[in-house]
Copies of this chain bind each other. A is one copy, B any other.
Amino acid sequence: MFALDPIATVSNDRHDLRDDDWGAVVSRITLNEDLSEELFKGIDEFSHVEVIFVFHRKLSDKPVSATRHPRNNQEWPRIGLLAQRSAHHPNPLGLCTAKIKGLQGRTLIVQGLDAVDGTPVLDIKPVFQEFLPKSSRQPNWVSELLKNYW
């Protein structure tokens, strides 16, 4: 077992857990007081970051089965929780690529982070182009599910 302390906290105007409309959301990711703001030095030379966070408002919702219809929609296949990106994973970790809008001291400002206000952040990594897949394949239900996500 690994014990991890959050390094930062998200603040934004999203207080509800609804699924869609994340594209325009602007969030402030503020480093803990005990961490140096120098940790962010140079991060604004990148356009995007990946943010690993905790679904802290889902901690009491333990997955009850290994498979599920995405969003409980029976029109989509019943598949394993690890073949989905929902909060219903064995570990309640979120992961999102967000656009960097600015850096103000210990606060990184991003757009399109799908995390509610108060979310604890475990790690932040700059997006390296060489780490992105050149092309990718996915089943059809994904694009249907994400129609109004961004």
Integer count of this chain's copies in the complex: 2
The answer to whether B42 and A80 have CB atoms under 8 Å apart is yes
The answer to whether A90 and B7 have CB atoms under 8 Å apart is yes
Instruction: Please judge, given known A-B contacts A2-B120, A43-B80, A138-B45, whether A97 and B132 are in contact too, CB under 8 Å.
Output: yes
Query: Distance (Å) between the CB of A22 and the closest chain B CB?
Result: 10
Most chain B Cβ neighbours within 10 Å, of A1, A97, A133, A143: A133
Instruction: Please judge, given known A-B contacts A79-B41, A142-B128, whether A4 and B5 are in contact too, CB under 8 Å.
Output: no
A: residues with CB less than 8 A from B are 1-7, 35-43, 45-48, 50, 52, 54, 66-67, 77-85, 89-91, 93, 95-97, 99, 120, 122-133, 135-139, 142-143, 146, 149-150
